[in-house]
């Protein structure tokens, strides 16, 4: 176990725990966007910054990536931290002014929702955190989406923005997206996502549509469980 001080509080955490989790376990909240429990950490949104002190040196680090150290002193709300966080928030909001999630967070952080930076109008609600890409690769294992183009033209989606023939319509990307950028529409027997329409499977027991057929076929292929045995929804299992 490792002993450290966060916001003046003595905290004990397991070795290799991120400062973010150690703070949360101690009841201290830190704003985050890209740190989702289902995917590996990328440290891309920079909203979770905190100030750490080791000896006489202080510096700003991302709490979702920085792990606890014996004797570390962490300040999650110092003036320096708040200034960096507000600047990050302003930049994110200028990129995605329409994101309700960002607007709400900006208000909570005391950031004017009319950013002083020129607002983009072509980025949708995507902050390029790559959580969607990671979940598709790391958890689902199909690699249906990725980043394309460079610099300010970088976007996320299926290769060449064409319909992906490996996408299974599971919606994991929409689930982990922190800003609501990925549009997924599920109506009774159909699900639309990334420009494709997926047929939904009915539950053999209750008759309710519950998952895309392509997703069940993929699970069946991966696990060897017959498709017939997967055609029962979670409620009826
Ligand atoms: S679509 Fe969402 S999850 Fe994917 S990179 Fe953009 S903000 Fe992140
Ligand atoms: S939550 Fe830490 S960088 Fe995004």
Q: Is the pLDDT of residue 139 over 80?
A: yes
CA of 194 to the centre of ligand 2 (A): 25
Q: Cα separations (Å) of 169 from 142, 177, 199? A: 11, 15, 9
Please give the torsion angle defined by the CA atoms of residues 186, 191, 196 and 202, in that order, rounded to the nearest 10 degrees: 180
Give the tens place of pLDDT for each residue, 32-43.
999 999 999 999
Domain residue limits, the chain: 2-108, 131-236
Ligand 2 interacting residues, C-beta cut-off 6 A? 32-35, 43-48, 62, 64
Q: Is the pLDDT of residue 114 over 80?
A: no
Give the tens place of pLDDT for each residue, 205-216.
999 999 999 999
Ligand 1 interacting residues, C-beta cut-off 6 A? 126-132, 156, 176-179, 181-182
CA of 145 to the centre of ligand 2 (A): 21
Distance, in Å, from the CA atom of 202 to the CA atom of 38, rounded to the nearest integer, reads 27
pTM for the full predicted model: 0.93
Per-residue pLDDT, 188: 85
Per-residue pLDDT, 159: 92
Distance, in Å, from the CA atom of 1 to the CA atom of 25, rounded to the nearest integer, reads 14
Q: Which atom of ligand 2 is found nearest the CA of 31? A: 1
Q: Cα separations (Å) of 93 from 14, 111, 180? A: 35, 9, 14
Average pLDDT on 149-159 reads 92
Q: In what order do the strands lie in the sheet with 57-62?
A: 9-13, 2-6, 73-75, 49-54, 57-62
Q: Model confidence at 236, in pLDDT bands (50, 70, 90)?
A: very high
Q: Is the pLDDT of residue 224 over 90?
A: yes
pLDDT, the chain, mean:
95
Q: Is the pLDDT of residue 46 over 80?
A: yes
Ligand with the closest atom to the CA of 24: 2
Which architecture, in CATH terms, is 2-108? Roll (3.10)
Q: Model confidence at 116, in pLDDT bands (50, 70, 90)?
A: confident
């Amino acid at each position: 176990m490792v002993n450290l001080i966060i916001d003046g509080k003595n905290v004990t955490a397991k070795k290799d725990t991120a400062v973010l989790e150690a703070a949360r376990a101690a009841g201290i909240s830190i704003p985050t966007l890209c740190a989702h429990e289902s995917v590996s950490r990328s440290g891309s949104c920079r909203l979770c910054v905190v100030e750490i002190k080791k000896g006489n040196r202080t510096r700003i680090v991302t709490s979702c990536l920085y792990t606890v150290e014996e004797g570390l002193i962490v300040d999650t709300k110092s003036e320096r931290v708040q200034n960096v966080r507000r600047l990050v928030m302003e930049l994110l909001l200028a990129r995605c002014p329409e994101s309700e999630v960002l607007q709400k967070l900006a208000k909570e952080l005391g950031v004017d929702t009319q950013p002083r930076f020129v607002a983009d109008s072509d980025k949708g609600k995507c902050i390029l955190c790559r959580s969607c890409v990671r979940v598709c690769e790391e958890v689902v294992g199909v690699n249906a989406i990725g980043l394309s183009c460079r610099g300010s033209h970088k976007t996320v989606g299926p290769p060449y923005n064409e319909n992906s023939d490996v996408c299974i319509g599971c919606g994991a990307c929409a689930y982990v997206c922190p800003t609501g950028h990925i549009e997924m529409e599920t109506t009774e027997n159909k699900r639309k996502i990334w420009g494709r329409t997926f047929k939904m499977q009915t539950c053999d027991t209750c008759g309710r549509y519950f998952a895309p057929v392509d997703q069940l076929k993929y699970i069946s292929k991966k696990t060897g469980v017959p498709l017939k045995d997967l055609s029962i929804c979670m409620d009826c299992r």
